[in-house]
Amino acid sequence: MLGIFAIVTILGLAGAVLLLTLPDGNAFNARVERIFLENDNLASQAEVKLLEILAQSGTAFSDTLASYRMVIFVLLVFAAALLVAALVFLVMLVSLNRRMAQIERSGIEVSSLIISREENTVYLNTMGFKLTDAMMETLAVLAEARLDDEMLTGSQIEAVISGKSEADCDEASGATRIKRLRDGLGNQMVSELLVKNIARRGYMLAIDKGVIEVV
């Protein structure tokens, strides 16, 4: 609000100074009238015609200054509107960046995570995501690990889903399953923050385990 007030005040003062410093629109007509009064002995047709041309020029000059004042006023209004809009958008952008940084630090605020195996759908708060069987298996494994306060590597995820021993599974297979799950969740920001990748430790769901429900 202070920034908007400052912008409007500065432009208002600038416009007032500019308009006040413009010459009077009737100044030209006043000079022509003075010529008429001081030279009442003009008799030739050429002199009278010249004074008529001067009078018409004064009227045109007055109209031009009036239009200039209107143009200056409109430009100042547009400039004030654009600067105010730019300031508002800047404040909104800074606020959004701060909010995004806060979300990155704290993770997504999930009040409910319901995994429905029958529907192949996961309900995240009020949003429903339709997933494939493989994606549902990956999410279910991560949910069970979160309930046990565990963190799984890519090879462990692949071992649980495929039924093979961990030694026979590689990290890339589990990472691929995680990538497909994130793609299935759609929103990159949501999926990246929901399924956390802790360096050299593994993957986990970055939510409170109390909100997880598997049906």
- pLDDT tens, residue by residue, 182-195: 888 776 556 666 77
What share of residues in the chain are helix, strand, coil (percent, to 5)? 70, 10, 20
Find the mean pLDDT for residues 80-94.
Answer: 87
**136 has pLDDT over 70:** yes
User: How many residues are given for the chain?
Assistant: 215
When pLDDT is cut at 50, 70 and 90, the band that residue 127 belongs to is confident
CB-based contacts of 28, cutoff 8 Å, min separation 6: 57, 58, 61, 62
CA 109 – CA 106 distance, rounded (Å):
8
Lowest mean pLDDT segment, chosen from 133-137, 143-147, 210-214? 210-214
Helices 133-147, 171-185: crossing angle, 10 deg rounding: 100
Task: Answer for the pair 35, 51: CB distance below 8 angstroms, yes or no.
Answer: yes
